[in-house]
Structure 1
């Protein structure tokens, strides 16, 4: 397939299909923040600058270049081959050559881009340590920031992001990390499972090869060497938080975290590269399995698991209410509803419930087919992902994405608090209230009409 965009066909795709009317019919709440920027005219371009063009960065760039009305005037990437691939993709889309930052510069070239470029938002897809510095540079230069997860690594960074958001009116969001299971959320909000009591999920993904492969994401290994906690809570939390009304009627009160011993990364290095390889004997701080128990002010519980070091299939989740329970087990959805399921205390397939309770957000989401498939790490597709639609319209309409700054910070801050719990002998640790009391009256995430 040619990588060349047909500019005429591209422009024929109606930008109205990506507009605010679509989001309203989808049921996406449009939450505004305190200090307002200018709402963009529907004919005005949404101008995005990209920082980091690895696998995920390429996927996001490809996503953006297929959305009518989105322009990419600037790219920042320290690896020249990636930088010039991005340049070529922008040019092939029919847009002007972007300004390039990062080649032959230091790792903070993103600061120069944020200072010099007239952009609406920065898209951050770098290694984790740069996420907070990049989004802060964006917000402090009158730009929003959409970031891959986690948003930051420390509680100091978390509070700095909150305070910068509140003082500037610019937001930082982990909307790029994906979209919740809104059909399950619809079941919960319509009372199928009763009152929620407990949710369990986790990032359970074998990344031993990735951590040891120079061409993949070897920076992940650094975190296993020097940190110990639940280092990647955001993917499960994106569905758990709205299901339990975290920051929207309830909040995290405290948590306790515990990790197993660390042996698997050493064993993997010895098996793949030999017992004399440096990583075969290097001390790893991150336990191979982490489990964290989280309790909310309202008495709900979350069991959050983290395992990227052992051989296993991908992770699952479980939601327990007073009337029933929902389980996703390796892609198979099962449910038990007291008084409705055909067999007492026996699982049944969840398909009929998913059909009945399909979220209006999904029912009304049907973006036009793209001219060129999305490329990069995230899967090929000819339709724009719902989280990208949400992101672009939040920028255009001067609202926040479905996961706002407070929720994004809360989700990512789980890592830092679990690290504190483990470092202090696995004791309970109070969780910060990043909303400063506003959680009691905030509209639920993805509230439908």
Structure 2
């Protein structure tokens, strides 16, 4: 069973030369569709259009400008124009796209509240799903997505790109090799100044900053994402931090989350940005908003095997970008903020070492093989790898590397954190979405020794 899992994982990630082959020659390109052609969708579309093994046959979006930009991408890439849905503004246009015959998969890159209904509809239609992060909004959404996947057996992958970050994958190699000893504590998060993402002037030519509009008057993410900060208080974007931590700790593969609690600070950053930094007039509606989202939300998870994981969501205050990773065990720790590592018996006593030499030595096989192809891809190459993993799994008909259990557990941290905060920071039991299967499943990205 371990060898079978090892080989299927190799195939899914494109590390097998036979992945996707068919008797008598090369298989035809995958026929893929995309729902959501906004700024994130266009980044993913770029990666799909770079691949000769993919044909983008359909696009769907209710914003004509974004559809036109996506079609221009296809044209500049020398590809045939895909079929288009949603130009009429029909929010259910994606249903017509999913009714197309012969689709091999669909990439969903829409606002968060659409992810669950669109993924469920795709799986019900038998169309494999690659879904941008945030699997659902409510806890029930997550159970519904899981139930649909288990019932239909349609593949589902959460497109969490940070799991493929080069230093993260090198650290995973080191964890597998035992260099940190027994893991004790992990940290990660989403610490990113998004004030100029949540507000803009409403001008499509300036999607970031330049104003204090959001909602109907905003553009791009300011049109929909800011509303979550208005009415919700919790860990709203957990997967960038929890994805790698879950890999390190073998969550759902011999380990699981057992408990969660969350604390939220006061909410000051967004109001301060609008009123002080952007100097919006006192009567402007954005100055009157009472934002519910705490500026810093801290969530702690306990694991079956005794590890703790700390996540922080920090997007409303001035700060440089950082995901704040920390991997700590009985023999040392790595931290990404200062790009440093300390290993007992290897590093100078009580001193940090620069991580680069370790990253070079333990560079993951995926990066060794595909670094050149990933050059120029979004997010430092990570977007190449996440699309590559989805496509190769489809071609090989192999399990998705980041599967339905990962998707719903990582994403369910959001509604659980909201519940914890609303109930006076209460510690909650974490649902076992696998119903005990975590005990026998094999580690994620188990690709051999460094």
* C-alpha separation in 1, matches of 2:258 and 2:130: 27
Which residues of structure 2 form unaligned runs of 5+? 1-9, 201-217
- Which residue in the other structure is 2:316 paired with? 309
Contact 1:40 1:398 in 2 (8 A): no
- Deviation string for 1:218-265 (max 9, x for gaps)? 111100011111000010112111101111110000111010111111
Distance 1:21 1:104, change over 3 A: closer
Shift of 1:95: 3.2
How do 1:280-299 residues align onto structure 2 when only pairs under 5 Å count?
280-299=287-306
* C-alpha separation in 1, matches of 2:185 and 2:133: 24
Query: Secondary structure, in 3 states, of the residue corresponding to 2:317?
Result: coil
Shift of 1:365: 2.6
TM-score, scaled to structure 2: 0.86
Contact 1:265 1:280 in 2 (8 A): no
- Which residue in the other structure is 1:220 paired with? 225
- Which residue in the other structure is 1:320 paired with? 328
Distance 1:178 1:350, change over 3 A: closer
Distance 1:199 1:116, change over 3 A: same
Counterpart of 2:105 (choices 121, 141, 144) is 121
Query: Secondary structure, in 3 states, of the residue corresponding to 2:15?
Result: helix
- Which residue in the other structure is 1:199 paired with? 186
* C-alpha separation in 2, matches of 1:256 and 1:230: 10
- Which residue in the other structure is 1:441 paired with? 440
Shift of 1:357: 1.8
Shift of 1:215: 2.8
Counterpart of 2:33 (choices 38, 45, 49) is 49
Query: Secondary structure, in 3 states, of the residue corresponding to 2:366?
Result: helix
Do residues 184 (structure 1) and 171 (structure 2) align? yes
Distance 1:259 1:80, change over 3 A: same
* C-alpha separation in 2, matches of 1:202 and 1:158: 21
* C-alpha separation in 2, matches of 1:310 and 1:426: 22
- Number of residue-to-residue matches in the alignment: 412
Shift of 1:21: 9.5
Shift of 1:326: 0.6
- Which residue in the other structure is 1:231 paired with? 236
Contact 1:252 1:431 in 2 (8 A): yes
Which residues of structure 1 form unaligned runs of 5+? 1-18, 31-37
- Which residue in the other structure is 1:68 paired with? 52
* C-alpha separation in 2, matches of 1:45 and 1:23: 15
- Deviation string for 1:160-200 (max 9, x for gaps)? 11111111111222125343411000111101110100001
Counterpart of 2:275 (choices 270, 278, 290) is 270
* C-alpha separation in 2, matches of 1:254 and 1:298: 12
TM-score, scaled to structure 1: 0.87
Distance 1:42 1:406, change over 3 A: farther
* C-alpha separation in 1, matches of 2:266 and 2:29: 52
Shift of 1:132: 0.9
- Which residue in the other structure is 2:209 paired with? none
- Deviation string for 1:328-384 (max 9, x for gaps)? 11xx41111111112x222111222222222223223356589xx66xxx3687x98
* C-alpha separation in 1, matches of 2:374 and 2:420: 47
Do residues 109 (structure 1) and 93 (structure 2) align? yes
- Which residue in the other structure is 2:207 paired with? none
Counterpart of 1:23 (choices 11, 14, 23) is 14
- Which residue in the other structure is 1:10 paired with? none
* C-alpha separation in 1, matches of 2:16 and 2:350: 38
Contact 1:79 1:103 in 2 (8 A): yes
Counterpart of 1:339 (choices 329, 345, 367) is 345
Deviates more, 1:426-435 or 1:94-103: 94-103
- Which residue in the other structure is 1:83 paired with? 67
Distance 1:163 1:98, change over 3 A: same
Distance 1:285 1:21, change over 3 A: closer
Contact 2:33 2:56 in 1 (8 A): yes
Contact 1:25 1:364 in 2 (8 A): no
Distance 1:417 1:361, change over 3 A: same
Distance 1:97 1:121, change over 3 A: same
Query: Secondary structure, in 3 states, of the residue corresponding to 1:221?
Result: helix
- Which residue in the other structure is 2:395 paired with? 396
Query: Secondary structure, in 3 states, of the residue corresponding to 1:24?
Result: coil
Do residues 166 (structure 1) and 155 (structure 2) align? no
